[in-house]
Structure 1
Amino acid sequence: MAIRPRLAGKAHARAHQSIAARAFLDRVAPFFAGSEISGGPMLIATIVALVCTSTSLVPGWERFWDTQLRLEFGHARVHQSLAEWIDQALLPLFFIIIGTDVKRELVKGELSEWRTAAFPLFGSIGGMVVPVALFFAIGGGGAGAAGWGAVVTSDTAFGLALMAMFAGSLPAGVRALLLAFAAIDDLGGLLVIAFAYSHGFDPTGLAVAGGAFAAMLALRRLRWVSSLPYVLLAMLVWAGIFESGVHATIAGVVVGLVAPVAPRLDEERFAARVQDRVDRFQRAYRERQAVADDPQAEETAQHRVEKHLGYLDEMTSATDVTGERLVGLLNPWVSYLVLPLFVMSNVRIHLSGELIAESLGSTLALGVAAGLALGKPLGFLTFSALGTRLGLAALPERVTWGMIVAVGALAGIGFTLSLFVAGLAFGEGALREEASLAVLCASALAGTAGYFLLRWQARKQE
């Protein structure tokens, strides 16, 4: 959840010699070097994108991301811009992580009891309904009305990165709530994208994706171990959803929910199965040493040694959790490549005094900013409190309402999907820039509030 133990120990040793190093370890390092999705690279990518779009330093910046890439196979051909390929082909990797993490929390984590699982569900409903209602109340009329989807989703990456800074002081249930809320929230946003902002629909593609998903579930039931069939079927799920006209990020969530979150072999069964094999390996190893002077006999004994080692290796692999291994494999790629590329290709804001002045008087910008920074926390808190009051939801153990207020503040960070929806809703032009600027301002405000509220709660715990 925070910086890796070995890296933390190394940095901690250096911190004894430098106050600055100690401050970096405690506050900044998790934002870049955490085992979770890291928000630091996204922040740097945002700054780079704003500089490149708002100055003449990189004149061909936006034209580069709009470069058309074509794929042809026989009579079938697909052509999209580089930015669209990043959205459709790379961003689903991020949602594989989200889907897997949420499944883990629901199956064996802090949300495994139905009333604690219902808490973020109630909060997510409020976190989608109230911001949209507030958006339409402020800027519902005119051409800007199409931007209502920008206030539906929260940004998981930045929220988790800020949470990681205080991981050692806050109970695990706080992170689980934020993760579950953001995942349900993102799923709601993906459904909004699928049905409100996707153009055209091909049921054949969804049928192909559904068949591939069913095949993955069947392999799981058969306890199939090899990863190759799952990878091929996951690609087929993505291709089917992509072809259907529904945004392909849905495929990431679907694939993530298939990933196992429990080992095939628990520790007790592992100990029972390998003890006899370890004894046999030791006997075979001693036999090989005893016949070292006879090359033919030594080769035969070596085969027996290798056979026992292979068995032990497979049994050890069976104690690994596939979902955790998948998340660990994807995290660095998503943190340092996928999300920064997404941000750089989707931030299209030409900062200027004119844009800021227009945004201040724009009902679209005010509606987006209020929906995220105010509507998200308000909806999350009121609906989760309502669910608790009705006895249908409960806080996880050791989680306080003060911590819930901090999570509610983090819910106002819209960023990733909000910028994406703004692009889908308005294409290129002034309305997209106004909505995107409002998303950035609201996210900065919510992130700052969330940071100080988390810091306050962490100090209370300490």
Structure 2
Amino acid sequence: MTARAHHSPAASAFLHKIEPFFAGSEVTGGPLLIATIIALLFTNSPWSGGFERFWDTPLTIGFGAREVTHTLAEWIDHALLPLFFVIVGADVKREMVLGPLAHWRTAAFPLAGAIGGMLVPVALYLAVASGTPAAPGWGSVITTDTAFGLALIALFATRLPAGLRALMLAFAAVDDVGGLLVIAFAYSDTIDPRGVAAAVVGLGGIIGLRRLGWISTVPYVLLAVAVWGGVLESGIHATIAGVLIGLTVPVAPRLDQARFAERVQPRVDAFRRAHDAAERTDDAEEESQLRKRAEERLGYLHEMASATREASSRLIEVLTPWVNYVVLPLFALSNVRIHFSADLIDMIGSPLVLGVVAGLVVGKPLGFLGFTWLASRLGLAQRPDHVTWRMVIGVGALAGIGFTISLFIAGLAFGGGEMREAASLGVLVASLLAAGIGYVILRSCAEPRQRAEAPSEG
């Protein structure tokens, strides 16, 4: 890579810029963007009918006399998308316990922004669309697309303070939970209390095992499935199960470094003695026994080293590649259905499209900035260290990227047909505008690349 960068600096600079969209240990937006483009191409091609019929294929899962039938697209929404929200929940908890949002006033800052980022967009949407057939689509301006927002912030890597990413993450998480609650109570016909009870029992089981210090992952996985199944059965959208499960994941390691050193040192000495004795002996049977003893000590050391890592980091590390390259792209392929036509283009000036664009592009940053400023003036909240008000405006602009859940809510509000496509078009236009505005603002806030990448002295 170094040689390639030396011989092709232009290509290296380009790859360096787009890398946060496709690689790294965090949720990225590149694969989601590519899948969206592919979905738009297929939807507007001669193969659109077959493409959409494929995602609408019914799939039945049964156990005994109980059967559940959903289309492939719905199974992706209900069964795969919650994995993304497990990451969101676990990451937010880590930032609020160990990261820049650990202080209550700092944590209150994105909470205040999220409240404003939901109320103001809805008010703007209804100001435009109230009294029209577009009114039920107000929920589509509530949520923020976490993947795209974090990917755009990651473009600047070390050139922006770490607290900015934590701010965006916490805001988006609260925002998403608000959107999921709206789905549960505004766009769900009925809520089955038996499903809610099953989810509560599963969640209680996870918390109980944590308090008992249970280590094996199998019971946790089974209980997490029970929580997901209960939420799904209740009629509440299953993605909220992902957030709840993520919030239960421990952020503190089972073994701190001091205890690790105390416990491991005798086993290291025992491993060294067994290894040296195996090297010296000429007896094959004795050598085999000594090496087996050394391997046992090595296994213990590996287990102890694993105990020094927090469970949330391990979980995020395991799930992130699947979410980046499977879950989010499949969601886009199955949910993005915008048929560009003269009739649809004519709807750009309709209350539906204008309401979505006004809510996301104007309402999100206005609500985020207004409520955080007010909370700060009242002494209820505090900006994370090194985060300026201009950066806050940039995060508010990125909050207008309302892609994933916004498209989902548009489908719930309007079903299929022209209204859903118009709402999806509004979400797409608003997301592009919000991304561009947010990028320009954050770029103006970022340190020059040379200064940010210069090695520190001493």
Q: Which amino acid letter does the alignment assign opposite residue 382 of structure 1?
A: G
What is the distance in 1 between the residues matched to 2:172 and 2:163? 14
What is the distance in 2 between the residues matched to 1:73 and 1:355? 43
**Structure 1 gaps, min length 5:** 1-9
How far residue 308 of structure 1 moved from its aligned partner, in angstroms, is 1.4
Q: Aligned in 2, Cα 1:243/1:299: closer, same or farther, shift over 3 Å?
A: same
What is the distance in 1 between the residues matched to 2:172 and 2:270? 50
CA contact (8 A) 2:160 2:447 kept: no
CA contact (8 A) 1:34 1:164 kept: no
**Structure 2 gaps, min length 5:** 452-458
Q: Aligned in 2, Cα 1:127/1:13: closer, same or farther, shift over 3 Å?
A: farther
What is the distance in 2 between the residues matched to 1:257 and 1:457? 32
Alignment-derived partner of residue 345 in structure 2: 356
Alignment-derived partner of residue 286 in structure 1: 276
CA contact (8 A) 2:95 2:166 kept: yes
How far residue 57 of structure 1 moved from its aligned partner, in angstroms, is 3.9
Match runs of 1:35-434 below 5 Å: 35-291=25-281, 293-360=282-349, 362-434=350-422
Q: Which amino acid letter does the alignment assign opposite residue 413 of structure 1?
A: I
Alignment-derived partner of residue 455 in structure 2: none
What is the distance in 1 between the residues matched to 2:102 and 2:152? 24
What is the distance in 2 between the residues matched to 1:316 and 1:23? 38
Indicate which of 426, 434, 441 corresponds to 1:446: 434
How far residue 73 of structure 1 moved from its aligned partner, in angstroms, is 2.0
Q: Which amino acid letter does the alignment assign opposite residue 416 of structure 2?
A: E
What is the distance in 1 between the residues matched to 2:440 and 2:246? 32
SS of residue paired to 1:307: helix
What is the distance in 2 between the residues matched to 1:365 and 1:133? 15
Q: Which amino acid letter does the alignment assign opposite residue 156 of structure 1?
A: T
How many residues get paired? Answer: 450
CA offsets 1:188-241 (integer angstroms, 9 cap, x no match): 000001111122221111111111111111111111111111111111111111
SS of residue paired to 2:60: strand
Alignment-derived partner of residue 454 in structure 2: none
Q: Which amino acid letter does the alignment assign opposite residue 322 of structure 1?
A: A
Query: Alignment identity in percent?
Result: 61
What is the distance in 2 between the residues matched to 1:316 and 1:110? 26
What is the distance in 2 between the residues matched to 1:307 and 1:39? 43
CA contact (8 A) 1:15 1:25 kept: no
Q: How high is the TM-score relative to the length of structure 2? A: 0.96
Q: Which amino acid letter does the alignment assign opposite residue 448 of structure 1?
A: G
CA offsets 1:71-120 (integer angstroms, 9 cap, x no match): 12221111111110000000000000000000000000000001100000
Q: How high is the TM-score relative to the length of structure 1? A: 0.95
Q: Which amino acid letter does the alignment assign opposite residue 393 of structure 1?
A: A
Coordinate RMSD, CA, aligned: 1.3
SS of residue paired to 1:261: coil
What is the distance in 2 between the residues matched to 1:378 and 1:364? 20
How far residue 414 of structure 1 moved from its aligned partner, in angstroms, is 0.3
CA contact (8 A) 1:132 1:149 kept: yes
Q: Which amino acid letter does the alignment assign opposite residue 214 of structure 1?
A: G
What is the distance in 2 between the residues matched to 1:295 and 1:154? 65
How far residue 31 of structure 1 moved from its aligned partner, in angstroms, is 0.9
SS of residue paired to 1:168: helix
What is the distance in 2 between the residues matched to 1:63 and 1:129? 37
Q: Which amino acid letter does the alignment assign opposite residue 388 of structure 1?
A: S
What is the distance in 2 between the residues matched to 1:285 and 1:74? 55
SS of residue paired to 1:141: coil
How far residue 290 of structure 1 moved from its aligned partner, in angstroms, is 2.8
Q: Which amino acid letter does the alignment assign opposite residue 365 of structure 2?
A: P
Q: Which amino acid letter does the alignment assign opposite residue 456 of structure 1?
A: S
How far residue 58 of structure 1 moved from its aligned partner, in angstroms, is 4.0
Q: Which amino acid letter does the alignment assign opposite residue 352 of structure 2?
A: L
